[in-house]
A and B are shown apart, each in its own frame.
Chain A
Amino acid sequence: MKLKGKVALVTGGSRGIGRAVCLRLASEGAFVFVNYIRNEAAARETLALIDKAGGEGKAVCFDVADYKAPTEALAAIVKEKGRMDILVNNAGVSRDGLLVRMKEQDWDRVIDTNLKGVFNCCRAAAYTMMKQRWGRIINMTSVVALSGNAGQANYSASKAGIIGLTKSLARELASRSICVNAVAPGLIITDMTSAMTEEQRENVLEEIPLSRLGTPDDVAGVVLFLASDEAGYITGQVIGVNGGLYM
């Protein structure tokens, strides 16, 4: 039970990678707040899975892109549990399209949720972690932040922005024993990648040395490690989990 007594918040925890992260953290003893924005049913299902695995958690609904909402939510969490140890900024959306045709709202929505959302949540959680002199912030970036991807200028930009934020915040908070790192998943089997055609999938597999798409669990394992005491000397890093797609 690596995380006994710890309190975690996973944004976008109702599905996909977020759900797998919630499960992993909860099964290692953390109390996990599962954040969602719309899909309450999925959040409840994540909680049910946590419960089945012998863990504890609670659903919390708010939009990370709204500056005030995470502040209020974190304040409520700290009031209830007395602490905030692990923040996993996983909430992310995509609005793919070629930049030359991209609508302003498609750019804004992705940047606001994926990048500003990380700012909002980190800002809301940092003070508590500073007082505790212990914290783990794990930000979900992406392989495309490093490699780029046609049709994802907005998504890649938001994810690349997370890397700069991660490194800067790591420097700011290190003196308080707060480690801030980023995980860069490659192609993972979730709702976000389910829209790929068979042909697209075949093409992409050719680029992956380990010859398979990743699972949410592949990513969750790395998040768990970074959240644990074992990763206490790791900060400001970007850990790729991509089957070798990018090196």
Chain B
Amino acid sequence: MSIEEKVIEIIVEQLDVTREECVPEAAFIEDLGADSLDLVELIMAMEENFGIEISDEELQKIRTIQDAITYIKKKKGLAS
């Protein structure tokens, strides 16, 4: 499974949204209805699934699905 697919799978499960809603530009809070606790769970799920650690400063910059995918790829040392 590609990183994009995995990220979307996690988001669909955590935020209880549909795959169709998960376009790259979708913003977690504004478009997908996530509150602060949802975001925390989402980030922790990503950390667990990809074996990475996301600091709070870096977290601030992750607003959309594309942000998350780009960030994870960078952390895993892959080209975006």
Residues of A whose CB lies within 8 Å of any CB of B are: 127, 130-131, 172-173, 175-176
Contact = CB atoms under 8 A, between A and B. Distances in A.
B44 A172 contact: no
Contacts of A173: 37
B41 interface: yes
B37 A175 contact: yes
Say whether chain A's binding surface is mostly helix, strand, loop, or mixed: helix
Nearest to A130: B41
- Nearest first, the 10 closest Cβ-Cβ pairs linking A and B are A127-B44, A130-B41, A175-B37, A172-B37, A176-B37, A130-B37, A131-B41, A175-B35, A173-B37, A127-B41
Contacts of B44: 127
Nearest to A175: B37
Contacts of B35: 175
Give the interface size class of chain B. Answer: under 10
Interface of B: 35, 37, 41, 44
A246 to B, nearest CB: 34
Nearest to B36: A172
10 contacts: A127-B41, A127-B44, A130-B37, A130-B41, A131-B41, A172-B37, A173-B37, A175-B35, A175-B37, A176-B37
Nearest to A173: B37
A127 B35 CA distance: 16
A130 B45 CA distance: 11
Given A127-B44, A130-B37, A175-B37, 7 more contacts: A127-B41, A130-B41, A131-B41, A172-B37, A173-B37, A175-B35, A176-B37
Contacts of A130: 37, 41
A238 B41 CA distance: 28
A111 B62 CA distance: 36
B76 to A, nearest CB: 22
Nearest to B44: A127
A173 B41 CA distance: 12
A173 B38 CA distance: 11
B36 to A, nearest CB: 9
Contacts of B41: 127, 130-131
Contacts of A176: 37
Contacts of A175: 35, 37
Contacts of B37: 130, 172-173, 175-176
B15 to A, nearest CB: 13
